[in-house]
Amino acid sequence: MNDYPTRNVLQGIPWIGFYRGGKRCPEDIILPSVVRSVLEFLGESGAGPREYGCKHCLAVNPDCSILCTYAYLVGVSGAASFLSWKDGWHGDNVAPFYMSADAEAPERHIFNAIGYTYEWVVKESGRDNQAIFRQRIAESIQRGMPVLGYGVVGPPEASIVAGYDEGGDVLVGWSFFQDAEMECEPSGYFRKRDWFKDTECLLIIADQVDKPSLEETCRTALQWMLQVARVPMVRPEPDAPEHYQNRHNGLAAYMAWAAHLLNDAAWPAGDESMLHAHYQIHNDAVGTVAEARWYGSVFLAQIVEGFEGGPGRAGGQADILHAAACYAAEHDLMWEIWELAGGIGNHEAYKAMADSNVRRAMAEVIREAREQDARAADHIERALTHEP
């Protein structure tokens, strides 16, 4: 660290966080939102391409080809098609880490699509990991590139390291999990001391490289989305890590979720604590499907012109747009589920879950959503196998 300034912070990286109103649409799926923010910063700072925009928040420039960067990243990451449900009631039931046996798959798909290489920096025995983490962060910030830190503030989800202070004793940046009680910079960036113990690993964004053509990116994304939706259990082997065991994926997750709603023993009318805890997990699933499928529909509509075909040429655009419509329908179905418990944001919605009739109605809507998801997968498959 002697070769670097005591303080070095990249200013102007856009805010990330769970939705709290404003012009920007909800962005509650963490990795795509983090990368969206980094891409906007690189484009506006001149350090990266300006083709990634937001039709609500950023002026559209002549180079901007992606009008909803977040939707684009939700699509290429596979999150657009993701749903998970582990048997029982677990806080990570719908966490996106489990869409594949390969935990790195979302990052690999995203960075391949946007044309950047990257490197993981992990803790290894027999070396000074904290010194190495500090050195790699300082190197990246010095060249104007933010770092993705997994953890830092909150659980081991991606956050943005925008810089450091006090020779690296303090990290500065954005996290979905920072709160009003944290020490902050005037910009709103968090300031985190003793950060190393809470940081699982770093993702260092490296070189910009030639990225695939839009048609190739579309095809790869659709193939990956199809896999995410249709593989019923990504680690079915009996000796899989515990967090993968009995975890249903994609289309199979809908049925597991519905079955848990129909288990009356899990919803005792006299136990508000249990009702509240189980409702939170259920509500996470509703919100995940609503947001992921909405942005999945935007992604599909956004890429359709880049997929093979077009004016004067046969192609699979109709099936892509049909899949987009199915995803949009799923989004609306999730709002029906919220209405059954008194509407989105109802702080006493959990009390309605004691009523078996409410939960049975919800299970029927979940089954309908599963059918829409299956239709979307069929349309995606037809688009991929279309031969002009």
DSSP assignment of 33-56 equals HHHHHHHHHHHHHTSS-S-B-BTT
* Mean pLDDT lowest among 22-31, 114-123, 166-175, 251-260: 22-31
Q: Write down the mean pLDDT value for the chain.
A: 91
Distance from C-alpha of 158 to C-alpha of 201, rounded to nearest angstrom: 9
Q: What percent of the chain stands above pLDDT 90?
A: 74
For the record, the structure tokens of 187 come out as 């910009």
pTM of the full structure: 0.93
CA distance to 87, 260, 269, per residue, from 246 (Å): 6, 13, 27
Residue 173 has what pLDDT?
A: 98
Q: Model confidence at 309, in pLDDT bands (50, 70, 90)?
A: low
Domain ranges of the chain: 8-67+116-208, 214-385
H or E segment to which residue 73 belongs = helix 69-77
pLDDT tier, 265 (very low <50, low <70, confident <90, very high otherwise): very high
Helix axes 272-303, 69-77, angle to 10 degrees: 100
Joined tokens for residue 363: 């299970």
- In the predicted structure, residue 157 carries a pLDDT above the cut 60: yes
Q: Which token pair is 382?
A: 């037809």
- Amino acid letter, residue 176: F
For residue 185, the tally of other CB atoms under 10 A from its CB is 16
Model pLDDT, residue 214: 81
